[in-house]
Amino acid sequence: MFYFIFPAIAGISIVIARILNSNLAKIIGIFPGTFFNFLTGLTVSSMLLLFSGQSFFENTSSFNQIPVWVYFGGILGLFIVSLSNYITPKISAFYLTILMFIGQLFTGIIIDFISMGSLSVGKIAGGLFVLFGLSFNLYMDKKKEAQNVTNPAYSPLD
């Protein structure tokens, strides 16, 4: 049961966070909005750590075994959140969700390849299929917009 509830909550929280971050960025700016996003994440993560009863410094001996490139995840997250705050008001929620899904899928494929040395043909094919569908949908939307411009009597209710 939890295997269905937690992913649903995570997905909903991503959409809500994206909307809240975008609205905050409109009010105070992209980079201050990104800062408060990370501050909120740090606060919630710290509270979860506190309530879990575990110590942050439990396995300090293993910190030196972590590859340096892993620490660039924070910088990448900063870039992604800032870009998302900038792009969210400019495109539809549908396209943004699909683009984020495609980005996460291909990033996961790259991470799997780097860490395990294997490629999943099914994941690549699925990602390309979704990317093709998105591209086709964008093409059809642009074509419909062009028809609306050349035919001003057209009504979407027709």
User: What confidence tens digit (pLDDT) does each residue in 49-92 have?
Assistant: 888 877 766 666 676 777 787 788 888 888 888 888 888 888 87
Per residue in 17-47, pLDDT tens? 888 888 888 899 888 888 988 898 889 888 9
Query: In this predicted structure, which of 2-16, 58-72, 74-88, 115-129 has the lowest mean pLDDT?
Result: 58-72
- The Cα 57–Cα 41 span in angstroms is 19
Write the CB contacts of 143 (distance below 8 Å, at least 6 apart in sequence): none
- 37, 21 Cβ separation under 8 angstroms: yes
Output the pLDDT for position 43.
Answer: 92
* Closest by Cα among 37, 138, 156 to 96: 138
Burial class, 33, CB count within 10 angstroms (exposed 0-12 / middle 13-18 / buried 19+)? buried
Please give the model's pTM, rounded to 2 decimal places. Answer: 0.62
